[in-house]
Amino acid sequence: MSRQDATDDQDDSQDDSPVYLTLTRPRCPDCGCPEFHAYRTVKNGMEGSDDDSKTRYSYCLKCKRRVVIVVE
């Protein structure tokens, strides 16, 4: 089971908050390889909710290092 390492605040205010830079190009922390294979994808939001972020359990294609990528 995944750790609860982020507070799940429901603050979806539409004000001038900073732009979120999502992890579109994650890199392996070990070898820097940008290619991963996702062996498991878990949806974070409830069904029908606005939160369509996903958690991807992946491993590096080069060194097989396992990483967890959150895709928003």
What is the contact surface with Zn ion in residues (CB under 5 A)?
Answer: 28, 30-31, 33, 60, 62-63, 65
- Nearer to Zn ion among residue 44 and residue 57 (C-beta): 57
Strand partners, 27: none
Q: In this structure, how many other beta carbons lie within 10 angstroms of the beta carbon of residue 61? A: 14
Q: For residues 57 and 40, is the Cβ–Cβ distance under 8 A?
A: yes
Q: How far is the CB of 39 from Zn ion (least distance, A)?
A: 15
Q: Cβ closer to Zn ion: 33 or 71?
A: 33
Instruction: Report residue 13 as tokens.
Output: 């205010």
37 vs 43, which CB is nearer to Zn ion?
A: 37
